[in-house]
């Protein structure tokens, strides 16, 4: 009898501990998600500025200051967004998972576009994602062509509702400029 009571007590403690840990993990997820979304949005717009807009990097000069750090942070933020989206799915929070995926898709698209532009402009890397410090005049031509393809590629990826990895693969294939 005492043995059964002791076993029941240990089992109850285990269940309570698991429930408390689970509740703490779920409670911290929204704050973490908000921070990750904010970071990903800022990085997405910073990366977008390298290939779109008046101050874009055309390749006539070496890469802008902070380029390498931004690209590394973008990749790290994308990994974090994917991790949080997976956690939201496991925690049965589909709306949060979808929001995280939309933010992740936007960041992923900007990273893919930048990577495709650099790859097709034959930019040499000293240490990926850091281009060797020199001008890359071919970037200006490739930049224009990839920018024209981007809206179509984004619509195609959105229509297919792909996972992060599959979307990255599709975007990189779609943004490939045919060599003449």
pLDDT, one tens digit per residue, over 10-38 is 544 454 444 444 444 444 456 788 999 99
Beta carbons of 81 and 100 less than 8 angstroms apart: yes
pLDDT for residue 88? 92
Distance of CA 96 to the CA centre of its chain: 16
Q: What is the mean pLDDT of the chain?
A: 84
pLDDT for residue 19? 45
Q: What average pLDDT does range 120-140 have in this prediction? A: 88
Burial class (CB in 10 A: 0-12, 13-18, 19+), 157: buried
Q: Which residues contact 67 (CB under 8 A, 6 or more apart)?
A: 50, 57, 129, 130, 131
Mutual angle of helices 138-160 and 2-51, in 10-degree steps: 140
| Three-state secondary-structure class, residue 176 | coil
Q: Which helix (H) or strand (E) holds 78?
A: helix 67-90
Mutual angle of helices 2-51 and 94-120, in 10-degree steps: 40
* Domain spans of the chain, in order of start: 27-174
Assigned token pair, 148: 């024209």
Exposure letters 123-133 (e unless 16+ CB within 10 A, then b): beeeeebebee
φ, ψ (nearest 5 deg) of residue 126: -75, -40
**Alpha carbon of 72 to those of 13, 54, 63, 115, 136: distances in Å?**
43, 23, 14, 12, 21
> At residue 67, does pLDDT exceed 90?
yes
Give the residue among 119, 125, 112 at the shortest CA–CA distance from 139.
119
pTM (predicted TM-score): 0.78
């Amino acid at each position: 009898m005492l043995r059964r009571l002791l076993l029941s007590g240990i089992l109850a403690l285990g269940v309570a501990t698991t429930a408390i840990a689970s509740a703490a993990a779920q409670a911290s997820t929204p704050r973490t998600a908000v921070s990750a979304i904010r970071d990903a949005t800022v990085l997405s717009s910073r990366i977008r500025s390298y290939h779109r807009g008046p101050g874009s990097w055309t390749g006539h000069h070496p890469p802008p200051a902070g380029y390498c750090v931004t690209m590394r942070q973008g990749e790290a933020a994308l990994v974090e967004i994917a991790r949080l989206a997976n956690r939201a799915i496991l925690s049965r929070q589909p709306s949060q998972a979808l929001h995280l995926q939309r933010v992740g898709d936007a960041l992923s698209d900007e990273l893919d576009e930048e990577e495709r532009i650099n790859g097709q402009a034959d930019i040499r890397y000293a240490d990926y994602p850091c281009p060797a410090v020199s001008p890359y005049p071919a970037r200006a031509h490739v930049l224009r062509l990839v920018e024209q393809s981007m809206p179509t590629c984004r619509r195609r990826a959105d229509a297919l509702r792909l996972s992060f990895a599959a979307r990255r693969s599709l975007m990189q294939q779609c943004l490939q400029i045919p060599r003449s």
